[in-house]
Structure 1
Amino acid sequence: MMPEPEKVEITALVTWLGMRKKIKNPAVLFLGARAGGLFRSQELCDILQPFSKRTLHELSQSHRFEECYKVLSQRQFSERELDSILTQSLQHITHTDADVCIADMVKQGIFDVIISSNIDDLIEDSFVQVEMRELFDYDVFIPEHMTPEGSIYHERPLPCKVIKAFGALSSKKYCIIERGAYLDSSQNLKNLLETYLTQDVLAVGLDPTWDEEILRMFPTQGGVFWLVGEEELMNRAVFARIVRARQAKYLVDSEQHEIWKAIYWHLHGGMPINFQLIHNIDRQLQAISRDMQLLKRDTQDIRKDVQELHILFQRLYERQLTGHDKT
């Protein structure tokens, strides 16, 4: 009889992550589609609504997301149209406080590998906020850009590796539909994913529809598998295959972004410093200071001009009085 997954509270996960940080043994973080920008995008639903038979705004967020995938999978959009839809859907989506929490935990060495099924650049944007530099503190691996050998790429001694399993929109090399075929087309990518997914993994934001193909290739042999998600996910066959085969623990939480702030708060007793925001504010203050100095100089010049005009008018007035006296 296969073991049942263990349901835990957030304190158990925090203790596990804290221990990994203490012994300098990072874990693998798997960010599913519900942790990405498209899941947050109302614009995606608005764009696809005319192509759906269902009223999307009446559905729950997870069911709207599932319906959007079904619409995109109907192959009614050209490659250029699909690119335009996704670009427009993500143009107003920015990193959140939760994303910065993830980035800061990576910087601290709690995670050294991030596998993402998302095509947005939110991870990279979040790294900037905590002053992490690409090629120095982390590197991003996109399947289309991998070398034929593959091993050269993932053996580079960087503190963090970000693997975009389905590519990146910014690179114009990505996959939304038929993801199974996409994974099968790159044996190097499959080998790379299997190597890391057999380790201790924390999975957050998995979606049974958008992430189905990558979940099917998830190794049933390996280290501890922590899953954070909604209760209903436990009943999906694609998840049951993993959690019943590996030493699995799951934390029920429907707010994918709030959980990160809670974890970070438990670990540190506060929120991470947003260095980029501080720099931006500092630059703005410096610009205001320069403007104030210019304004001060302008005000002094105006005051000087007013004084000169006052003297001029005073002289004219005196001359006029003198002239009147003579008459």
Structure 2
Amino acid sequence: MPDPQPITIEEIVKRLDMEKLNGNPTTLLLGSRAGGLFRSAHFYTVFLSFGDPGYANLSPHEKFKECYNLFHKYMRQSSETSIHALLQASVKDLEISKGDVGLVELVQQGYFSEIITTNIDDQLEKAFQQAGLREPFDVKVILPDKDIQATQYTSKYRITKVYGDLLSRRYDIKVRLDFLDGEHRHELETYLRRALAQNILMIGIDPSWDADILSLFPEKAGTIWFINEEDLQDKPLIAHLFAHRTVSYLTGPRGSYENFINILYRYLGPSVIPIHHKTTFEIMALLEQIRDEQQKTREIIDSTVEKFLTEMRHELKRSLQEVYTQQAIQAENGAPNLKERQGPDIPPAG
């Protein structure tokens, strides 16, 4: 095979345009670094609490790797219920990312029709719904334990969630494909080997979280466009892939999922941004402004409350001190007895 070659976004744009004009939309593989868990602050907070405090200073992809290691070190004995609750909490408050919004628009423009993802969250599905695309009429979400071989579907777009789905609770986060029985696993692997033999645009692959799917790539097949923040050619599974397929790669800051999709959208997106897309970005900007204002308001409230409580504590302390002082003075001077304060006894009537 030829040696892997660097590629620019401009060259990728030309290739995608050519594939689209030929009526052959490119197959897209989204790795774990393109999903919700990678963006979840809650996920990192929980898992990194098990590790060295220095982990907090790592880069996002280094944190993600450590989360994988810590998960397998500390969580293998955890119950499925507790793991599911943790994962749900990690993604439930995530907003739809700009990358997902841009990707859905590129899908609608005809550049992609088949999306294979290793992510179990529903962030991408939410982006499709936000664009007015309904499941299963416009987009079909394929779960490998029941309908991986379904070929008779009328949906224009297809998302295959190879590691399962969090909402349906059909997944395995510990050993990614172990939620499948023997028959379904064989069907999934057969499907993936066929799909991954095509020309593939691969974004956000993580060598730890996505090891299972990396081992399924057939050799001597279509071209791979490898997009990632890291080079990763020192990782055995990536090195094997690069050695046995024709690979063009783009790495560095432009290789992150969010950056790459947003740049790609600027090249390939419509000249007039659709109203739902424009509104989405306006809403995102407004939400960001609201969050900033909320944070400032919370800080002001916290400061005001703390100041008020401090003043109240000082006032209470001062009042108590005055009471103690008065009691001490009365004790020295001799306080009047109860009868003197109440006056003489009044005999009962009659």
- The reply to whether TM is greater than 0.5 is yes
Alignment of 1:261-300 (within 5 A): 261-268=262-269, 272-273=273-274, 275=276, 278=279
| Count of equivalent residues | 277
Deviation >6 Å, runs of 4+: none
Provide the residue aligned with 1:221 in structure 2: 220
CA distance in 1, matches of 2:270, 2:156: 25
Letter in 1 for 2:64: F
| Superposition deviation, residue 155 in structure 1 | 4.1
Larger Rg: 2
Provide the residue aligned with 1:165 in structure 2: 162
| Superposition deviation, residue 182 in structure 1 | 4.7
User: Larger deviation: 242-251 or 162-171?
Assistant: 242-251
Bigger relative contact order (CA 8 A; separation at least 6): 1
Alignment of 1:1-327 (within 5 A): 2-53=1-52, 55-74=54-73, 75-146=76-147, 150-151=148-149, 153-179=150-176, 181-182=178-179, 185=182, 186-254=185-253, 255-268=256-269, 272-273=273-274, 275=276, 278=279
Letter in 1 for 2:156: P
CA contact (8 A) 1:51 1:71 kept: yes
| Superposition deviation, residue 31 in structure 1 | 0.2
| CA separation of 1:225 and 1:155: change in aligned 2, threshold 3 A | farther
Q: RMSD of aligned C-alpha atoms?
A: 2.4
CA contact (8 A) 1:109 1:159 kept: no
Q: What secondary structure does 2:240 align onto? A: helix
CA contact (8 A) 2:200 2:222 kept: yes
| CA separation of 1:214 and 1:78: change in aligned 2, threshold 3 A | same
CA distance in 2, matches of 1:273, 1:129: 12
CA distance in 1, matches of 2:186, 2:272: 40
CA contact (8 A) 1:253 1:259 kept: no
| CA separation of 1:169 and 1:277: change in aligned 2, threshold 3 A | farther
CA distance in 2, matches of 1:35, 1:231: 14
Gaps of 5+ in 1: 283-327
Letter in 2 for 1:249: S
CA distance in 1, matches of 2:271, 2:277: 18
| Superposition deviation, residue 171 in structure 1 | 0.6
Letter in 2 for 1:118: N
CA distance in 2, matches of 1:184, 1:199: 26
CA distance in 1, matches of 2:275, 2:92: 22
| Superposition deviation, residue 251 in structure 1 | 1.0
CA contact (8 A) 2:116 2:162 kept: yes
CA contact (8 A) 2:40 2:94 kept: yes
| Superposition deviation, residue 206 in structure 1 | 0.3
CA distance in 1, matches of 2:200, 2:129: 24
Letter in 2 for 1:120: D
Letter in 2 for 1:176: I
Identity of aligned residues (%): 32
Q: What secondary structure does 2:220 align onto? A: coil
CA distance in 1, matches of 2:203, 2:252: 10
| Superposition deviation, residue 27 in structure 1 | 1.1
Gaps of 5+ in 2: 284-350
Letter in 2 for 1:33: S
TM-score w.r.t. the length of structure 2 is 0.73
